Structure 1
Amino acid sequence: MIKIVIPEAKIFKELFEAVGKLVDEVSLNITINGVFLRAMDISQIALIEVNLPRDMFLEYTVEEEGTLGFSTSNIQKVLKHVKKGENLVLWSDGSYVNFRVEGLVRREYRFRNLEVPVIDIPSAELETNVKAQLIASVINHAIQDVEVVGTIIEVEAPSTEELVFRGRGTGVNETRLKAGSVGLISLEVYEPSKSQYDISYLRSVMKLCKVSDVVSLGFSSDSPLLLDFQIGGTGKVRYIMAPVSI
């Protein structure tokens, strides 16, 4: 028997909006310590890792560890109309995965527990030459501005004084964040770096900016982009995206 209660269903809504952009089905690994998830899109451009420790749940009952598999489109439909302050209850007896949204009105859903293949990719600590912490809304707006002019975003840190988001296409757009500015909390540059990424993959994970105040960013020249989001107090989401060649 597995039963967990998420105190803010909206967190799961934004989380699965992001995951659903990458995969059609997902497998939650339920352990005595928390809920874990790894998913990679079919083109192997982006990988998302989710770690939700048990202390972020209102109730966490795991009599036997296991996996819960379901369609990401189904969970998105379940959570489509959740409101702030509503709880999400998830439980399973093995054969089915059950969801209940608890608010002014109680809504219940039941889906067959799917066998979803688990990604067999060893976890590795990604070392980057640039490390930054940004206010989530600032990086979100920067990416939205790039979308206006093109499909590729260039991220550059020429020195410890500045971080630049740049888009080129039908026009040119630049967002420059100076060290010490309100939006750029910290910036470490071990080596000047510049890299380009597909804006559509980056845009898909920006849903998490609605439930995360600060985003940690890391990259090196022509190397993967690393984004870390803190959600629900102690929950963590890591997003790794491959660069594109221009």
Structure 2
Amino acid sequence: MSARITYPVGAVIKVVAQALKSIVDQIPIVISLDQFSIEALSPDKVSMILFSIPSVAFEEYSVSEEVRIIADRDEFVKSLRRASKRDKVTFEYMAGGRELKVRVFNVRNNVEREYAVPLSEVSFDRIGSINVELEVSANLPSSELVSIIKDVSIVGEEMSLIYSSELNGIKVVAHGDLGSYETVLKQFHPLTYLESTVSNTIAKYSVEHLKAIAKLLNLADECSISFGSDKPLKISFEITGGSKVEIWVAPRT
């Protein structure tokens, strides 16, 4: 069981790693025959991030059989801290090894840096996506969602998403000691898509967990959000090359 894979845009994996640093204790990595993925669940089980890159997006993808490893979070993040859009990142693992070799190669100046990321001896089961029907779905520019999360975080610790057919939009509400926040998201202002199977619904989510994943949204121009009453919030988007990010945040009761 061995793997050697090279991805041409190191900055993408760097952003994912930095976001995970504030969410998880360790980095669970799966290198299967057809894709590289990180499937991470926060210790309190409130947030989950599924990040995948198809094998065809790699410059080199040599995998003998599926590899499942748990990388040390801090060392994994450190190995990618200098990765940029011009850097290729190579991951190399040999069966039975206790470290993941990470090589960051800058094409422009022909400089390569190599890191050895410690691995846990603990095995894990793949998480996979959540199979749940969410009544409200919408698309919007990622920058708009980032702005909303930033504004809400100034006010309180909880964000409410309220959909009503009468409003034909999604109201975002937050309250706190410093005041309150409210905005309405409608078709074309700024939603590019809106659909609901119910006439009314409301859900509440932790602002702290939303802040932790906000930087991931910078990877895409547009994202999708889905939610339902007392159900998790799903945020998803695609990155150039077929890569996908799926974020789940459990509701607050």
TM-score by length of 2: 0.89
Report the Cα offset of residue 91 of structure 1. Answer: 0.9
Report the Cα offset of residue 30 of structure 1. Answer: 1.1
Report the Cα offset of residue 19 of structure 1. Answer: 2.2
Q: Does 1:102 align with 2:105?
A: yes
Give the alignment of 1:23-172 within 5 angstroms: 23-94=24-95, 95=97, 96-103=99-106, 104=109, 105-119=111-125, 123-159=129-165, 161-169=168-176, 170-172=178-180
- Return 5+ residue gaps in structure 1 as ranges: none
Report the Cα distance in structure 2 between the residues aligned to 1:8 and 1:120, rounded to whole angstroms. Answer: 25
Aligned residues: 244
Report the Cα distance in structure 2 between the residues aligned to 1:133 and 1:48, rounded to whole angstroms. Answer: 19
Q: Is the 8 A contact 1:70 1:113 kept in 2?
A: yes
Percent identical pairs in the alignment equals 27
Q: Does 1:236 align with 2:239?
A: no
Listed one character per residue, the Cα deviations across residues 121-154 of structure 1 (whole Å, up to 9, x for unaligned) are 5744221110011111110111101111111111
Report the Cα offset of residue 82 of structure 1. Answer: 2.3
Q: Amino acid of the residue matched to residue 157 of structure 1?
A: Y
Report the Cα distance in structure 1 between the residues aligned to 2:240 and 2:174, rounded to whole angstroms. Answer: 32
- Return 5+ residue gaps in structure 2 as ranges: none
Q: Is the 8 A contact 1:40 1:119 kept in 2?
A: no
Report the Cα distance in structure 2 between the residues aligned to 1:40 and 1:69, rounded to whole angstroms. Answer: 12
Report the Cα offset of residue 109 of structure 1. Answer: 0.5
Mark the CA change 1:166 to 1:184 in structure 2 (over 3 Å): closer, same or farther: same
Report the Cα offset of residue 177 of structure 1. Answer: 1.8
Q: Amino acid of the residue matched to residue 169 of structure 2?
A: E
TM-score by length of 1: 0.92
Give the CA RMSD over aligned residues.
1.8
Report the Cα distance in structure 1 between the residues aligned to 2:125 and 2:158, rounded to whole angstroms. Answer: 27
Mark the CA change 1:12 to 1:129 in structure 2 (over 3 Å): closer, same or farther: same
Q: Is the 8 A contact 2:75 2:118 kept in 1?
A: no
Regions of 4+ moved over 4 Å: 119-123
